[in-house]
Amino acid sequence: MSRHNQDLASAFSAEQDRTDRLEKQLAGVFDPEGVSSGVLPSVFRVRAGNFTGTAFSVGKKATGNQANLFTNYHVVAETWTDGGRRVSLERGNTRINATIVKVDKAKDLALLRANQKIVSLGTSTTQVKPGQPIVVVGAPLGLDDSVTTGVISAYRPNDADGPTIQFDAPINPGNSGGPVVNANEQVVGVATAKAKDAEGIGLAIPIKTACETFAVC
């Protein structure tokens, strides 16, 4: 096959994939593979001292060749309290230095900034509802590019620690700070914790809380 024909075949294949994906979206079909492929390039394992978690690029307010990323405060707490500000973003063979810019201990949130452009994820402006399908992306036990799926179990606006999203997708240590994403590839929450001695109870901070806290979305 000539190079020209190969290029045409590749272009056709890419267009077919795009068409199939759009058809699924229009039909209301949840496509975890499609959502994951769109989200994964924006999600990193974050290494802060001896602790690892997850961080993701978000918002459109980064200047120049920079990126803003969200994670949980408890992921970077040891580094922050020791006076350090440097963390590492890791994905496969990629290593990017980042800085802890701001934290909110009470909300368990931290804002990181990298001096490198990273495709940012969009954020949802609507409140989640029970039963909505979601994908959770992160680095459980340090295993980057890990994906789990599930549904929103409940939205709890009156929790003592602030509004909380409950979901049933499996998460583990290392998922902290990762995005909880809806069928439209929009972040709805920041994965934060799982219930001890229970299965299928994960908790996330609504993305609205994170965006309002750091004003970068």
Catalytic residue among 31, 42, 57, 74: 74
Catalytic residue among 31, 108, 124, 144: 108
What is the per-residue DSSP string for the chain? --HHHHHHHHHHHHHHHHHHHHHHHHTT---HHHHHHHHGGGEEEEEETTEEEEEEEB-S---SS-EEEEE-HHHHHHHHHTT--EEEEEETTEEEEEEEEEEETTTTEEEEEESS--PPBEE--S---TT-EEEEEE-GGG--SEEEEEEEEEEETT-TTS-EEEE-S---TT-TTPEEE-TTSEEEEEEEEE-TT-SS-EEEEEHHHHHHHH---
φ/ψ bin of 49: left (φ > 0), alpha (ψ from -120 to 50), beta (otherwise): left
- The reply to whether 74 belongs to the active site is yes
Buried b (16+ CB within 10 A) or exposed e, 181-206: bbbebbbbbbbbbbeeeeeebbbbbb
- The count of C-alpha atoms lying within 13 angstroms of the C-alpha of 111, restricted to the half-sphere facing its C-beta, is 21
For the annotated catalytic residues, the residue numbers are 74, 108, 176
